[in-house]
């Protein structure tokens, strides 16, 4: 296939580019580098099956020649980023999705939207199934990301129903691994960098809130299976193993071999109290479930951050 990946220089986008190229596909990666970095794709420089274009996908996207698939991963994805870039986050969810869908329609290509578990907001249903509509504060500080993704899903389905585009929606739960930015504000890089620096780990709230952590290689495998499937309804992709943030902090301290303390700060506004995917649909329709255990994935990620600190 000849594939367009928006957000190609980001954490998930860059791993997706690697996966596609490793399977013989040709990738055209787009990114405006607001939160992505060319460091994530520099190893692809000179690869005949990869082309990078510095482009803001909220503007018209022109790609010459045939395209088989468009995968829309462009967006700030951490609270630090979308609180710093609230309008850009809304624009890439709305205008960016519109432009990416327009490209897919023009090229008669299939389309995959990188949505998020944040469409469920602070959920009142646990674990979260795809038929749950969510509990989102549209005007809260997190609403710029949550509602951008919810609008993107609505637009994607409108193009599917109206124009007959073969669309896919991946609702991505917490994913971690190499190439995360140390300062992006998400819990995994926060805890690892604090532990490696011998600093206290910052836990927001009392630490009883839960998350489920999926290693990036598992997530990308699920994305690809969804892309080549006949499924059009949204599909949760994530690791169903749920744990509290306080237990996760202790695990990071253990695996880094450190002795950091844990300090507590006020819980951010609208921060979800629970987060756990029901992946029944992914298991049944895609034959997919995570295979990388937490200790294995965290060890790989810690090694990446150790090397990053030395570079």
Active-site residue set: 145
Is 173 in a helix, a strand, or coil? coil
Q: Are 138 and 86 in contact (CB under 8 A)?
A: no
Contact 11, 22 (CB under 8 A): no
Question: What count of other Cβ atoms lies within 10 Å of the Cβ of residue 98?
Answer: 18
The residues, any chain, with a CB within 8 Å of residue 110's CB and separated by 6 or more, are: 68, 69, 70, 104, 165, 166, 167, 168, 227
Q: Residue 211's closest CA among 264, 177, 173? A: 173
Residues 107, 97: Cα–Cα separation, whole Å:
15
The span from the CA of 3 to the CA of 21, in Å, is 10
Partners of residue 176 on adjacent β-strands: 215
Asked if residue 169 lies in contact with residue 113, where contact means CB atoms within 8 angstroms, the answer is yes
**Torsion on CA atoms 104, 76, 35, 235, rounded to nearest 10:** -60
**DSSP secondary structure of 68-114:** SEEEE--S--SHHHHHHSHHHHHHIIIIIHHHHHHHHHHHT-EEEEE
């Amino acid at each position: 296939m000849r594939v367009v990946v928006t957000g190609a220089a980001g954490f998930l986008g860059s791993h997706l580019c690697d996966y596609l190229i490793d399977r013989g596909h040709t990738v055209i990666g787009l990114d405006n580098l607001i939160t992505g970095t060319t460091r994530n794709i520099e190893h692809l420089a000179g690869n005949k099956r990869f082309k990078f274009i510095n482009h803001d996908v909220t503007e018209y996207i022109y790609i010459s020649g045939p395209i088989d698939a468009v995968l829309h991963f462009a967006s700030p994805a951490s609270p630090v980023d979308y609180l710093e870039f609230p309008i850009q986050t809304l624009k890439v969810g709305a205008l960016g999705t519109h432009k990416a869908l327009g490209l897919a329609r023009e090229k008669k290509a299939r389309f995959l939207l990188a949505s998020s578990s944040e469409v469920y907001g602070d959920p009142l249903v646990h674990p979260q199934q795809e038929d749950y509509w969510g509990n989102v504060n549209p005007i809260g500080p997190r609403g710029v990301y949550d509602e951008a993704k919810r609008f993107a899903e609505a637009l994607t389905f409108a193009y599917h129903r109206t124009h007959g585009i073969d669309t896919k929606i991946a609702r991505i739960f917490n994913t971690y691994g190499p190439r995360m930015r140390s300062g992006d504000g998400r819990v995994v890089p926060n805890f690892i960098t604090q532990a490696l620096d011998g600093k206290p780990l910052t836990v927001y709230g009392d630490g009883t809130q839960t998350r489920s952590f999926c290693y990036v290689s598992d997530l990308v495998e699920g994305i690809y299976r969804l892309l080549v499937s006949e499924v059009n309804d949204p599909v949760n992709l994530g690791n169903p193993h749920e744990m509290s943030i306080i237990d996760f902090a202790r695990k990071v301290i253990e695996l880094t071999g450190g002795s950091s303390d844990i300090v507590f700060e006020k819980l951010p506004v609208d921060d979800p109290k629970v987060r756990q995917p029901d992946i029944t649909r992914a298991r049944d329709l895609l034959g997919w479930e995570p295979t990388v255990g937490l200790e294995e994935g965290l060890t790989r990620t810690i090694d990446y951050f150790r090397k990053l600190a030395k570079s």
